[in-house]
Amino acid sequence: MRIVLNGQQAFGEAVLKALLDRGEEVVAVYCAPDTPGQRPDPLKVTAEARGLPVVQPKSFKDPAAAETFRTWKPDLAVMAYVTKIVPSSVLDIPTCGTIQYHPSLLPRHRGPSSINWPIIHGETRTGLTVFWPDDGLDTGPILLQKEVAIGPDDTLGSLYFDRLFPMGVEAMLEAVDLVRAGKAPRIPQDESQATYEGWCRAEDVRIDWSRPAASIYALVRGANPQPGAWTELHGNRVQVFEIHRVPKGSGAEPGTVVSIDTDGMRVAAGDGDLLIERVRTSGPKAAAAELVDLLGLAPGMRLG
């Protein structure tokens, strides 16, 4: 099949390499436009190194984008981490259609931060979906799904890089094989089970120390490494990255720094304590105990 790959960053690059390494005919690669002052997209770098034409449209809604897309005479479009809206005028051009990767069990957690939110909500399972996109937002029929457990200590980073990323690459190859064999299903999504969340942004992950310790623990893990859960100390924003539950609470007021030692900073939450190990202020990540010197932190002070 003549394949057009549309994607970006490390996941898009990994899918491209996997397709090429097994001999697929990739005729063109689409990725986001370059950002001035930043390194080029690794997908673009790899595509050019392999001698493939690269297209970087500002918008797929421009009729010219569809006309250019049509010139590749694609049998299949593979979307591997695409954040731009691609209308059906482009999706329907390939003779076999377009397939897309999404890191959740659709119709649950539609939207751009679909790995963060299941962890933050305290869920114990998630997964990935390869589906047939349409003009809705993550609403097209399902081709295949893979489920994974969310471990009690999983973070956004561990869940994605250790499982959803490598499983996603393999799932895209499996989906291509099903399309080629004419055996790719189109299972309608159950709208009664649908949920949607927008981007997980900094304003969504400010720590409320009056919340239960389990809720704060999930928030920090779901925002690690991005966008980074945070609190305040003396007017300074302190991002929290590594945190652990403490078996027995101190009974102190929520947000109170109970103790500081080489293991970290113990802070009271709504129903127990948490041990913070790694933080960031305006520089690189540091041990929480270093806040003693950085910001004058001392036991008895209140965060938030």
Q: pTM to 2 decimals?
A: 0.93
Q: From residue 77, how far is each of 64, 102, 144, 287 by CA, in Å?
A: 18, 15, 16, 46
For 78, the 3-state DSSP assignment is: strand
Query: pLDDT at position 78, please?
Result: 98
Same domain, 39 and 88: yes
Q: Percent of the chain, pLDDT > 90?
A: 91
Residue 300 resides in a domain: no
Residue range of the domain that includes 94? 2-193
Please, which pLDDT band fits residue 283 given cuts at 50, 70 and 90?
confident
Same domain, 169 and 235: no
Same domain, 271 and 175: no
Pairing of strands 98-102, 76-80: parallel
Report the distance separating Cα 156 and Cα 220, nearest Å: 9
Whether residue 142 contacts residue 106, with contact meaning beta carbons closer than 8 Å, is answered with yes
Same domain, 97 and 234: no
Report the distance separating Cα 210 and Cα 271, nearest Å: 8
Report the distance separating Cα 81 and Cα 15, nearest Å: 10
Same domain, 174 and 285: no
Report pLDDT digits (tens) over 249-264: 899 999 999 999 988 9
Please, which pLDDT band fits residue 296 given cuts at 50, 70 and 90?
confident
Q: Reply yes or no on whether the pLDDT at 50 is more than 80.
A: yes
CA–chain centroid gap for 36, Å, is 23
Residue 304 resides in a domain: no
Same domain, 189 and 207: no
Query: Environment class of residue 27 by beta-carbon count within 10 Å: exposed (0-12), middle (13-18) or buried (19+)?
Result: middle
Same domain, 135 and 271: no
Same domain, 54 and 135: yes
Same domain, 96 and 140: yes
**Eight-state DSSP code of residue 274:** E
| Strand spans (E) along 35-149 | 54-55, 76-80, 98-102, 125-131, 142-149
Whether residue 6 contacts residue 77, with contact meaning beta carbons closer than 8 Å, is answered with yes
- Tally the domains of the chain: 2
Same domain, 169 and 274: no
Q: Rounded mean pLDDT of the chain?
A: 96
For 19, the 3-state DSSP assignment is: helix
Residues 6+ apart with CB under 8 A from 146: 127, 128, 167, 171
Same domain, 68 and 215: no
Report pLDDT digits (tens) over 5-34: 999 999 999 999 999 999 999 999 999 999
Residue 299 resides in a domain: no
Which helix or strand (DSSP H or E) is residue 237 part of?
Answer: strand 236-246
Pairing of strands 142-149, 125-131: antiparallel
CATH number, domain with residue 166: 3.40.50.170
Query: pLDDT at position 95, please?
Result: 98
Report the distance separating Cα 234 and Cα 256, nearest Å: 13
Q: Reply yes or no on whether the pLDDT at 72 is more than 80.
A: yes
